[in-house]
Amino acid sequence: MVRVTRDGHGEPALEIVGLGEAMALFQPPPGQLLADTAAVEVHVAGAELNLCTAAARLGVRAGFCSRVGADPLGVRVLAAAQAAGVDTSLVAVDAAYPTGLYLKDVLPDGQRRVHYYRAGSAAAHLDASDGARLLAARPRLVALSGITLALGAGPRAAVDAVLRAAGPAGITVALDPNLRPALGDVDRQAADVRARLAYVDVLLLGTDEAGPVLGVRDPDDPEEVFAAAADAGVRETVLKAGADGCYHARADGTAMHLPSTATTVVDPVGAGDGFAGGYLAGRLRGASPAGAAGLGTALAAGVVAAPGDTTGLPDRATAAALLARAVAD
């Protein structure tokens, strides 16, 4: 298992660390349903791990902080993360609880139906000690999610430990609300995110989340969204608009639209995570918001063109070229 160290120049060995839960995903082969399939495919998924996988593909030193059970699914999560180039030295193996899992059906009309089995999982028992372990690694940026806040009091304590200490430690905080109806009351999830915005440096927000999180009258008006986020204490906001692309703010606060470059949509799951990983990696490496948004958009277009959360990411050579172009823009 790779250990966190510092490079020869004293820089943190990890540039981005995601905090959250990764789970095993079971889904039937294409064209079949869980109710009658004779076999399932097994994958590893999780918003924060997906984000870190995208960043790692771009050559950014990325790590994942979580807990997994001492079971075969935990072994699988660790192996998948390591194969993706994501450091797992901040993942604790907790023998007292199992690794979470979920099932996914792709319905005939293309809609996804998800069934979570994560209550009582190892990651649902994250607490402030996990936040302290992450902080001790001193990454340049930590990626947080509303999903982790929704997992319970312990995971909320882990997030809050990071939020309180990141600023004084010089660690940038990025937050994606990732509101999930399957995790309970969306209004409560939005309120939990809203209460923590004053600690957030970079907000990665979906247009469908702008109303619940920020209370804006017109969530489709990016300048209203940017102004509301700034009033809440956020330093930088990018607005994800799905098939319509994204919006980022110019220096004067006005909005710039960047259309999606997707030409084929096979599976939209994971596109937002790919975008977030690309955007944050670009900003860490010196890209402007426009360049970083272009990089995120390119990664999202690849993700939606292939089944699975990360299989559509570009190869490393292509990713390096995309990052170089984003920094040069």
CB 249 within 8 A of CB 242: no
Q: What are phi and psi of 61, to 5 degrees?
A: -75, 105
CA 134 to chain centroid? 16
Distance CA 33, CA 39 (A): 10
User: Would you please indicate which residues are annotated as catalytic (active-site) residues?
Assistant: 273
CB 226 within 8 A of CB 220: no
Task: Give the residue among 45, 327, 87, 144 at the shortest CA–CA distance from 319.
Answer: 327
Phi/psi-derived region of residue 152, left when phi > 0, alpha when psi is between -120 and 50, beta in every other case: left
Letter string b/e over residues 206-235, b meaning 16 or more CB atoms within 10 A of that residue's CB: bbbbbebbbebeebebbebbbbbbbebebe
121: tokens are 């999982």
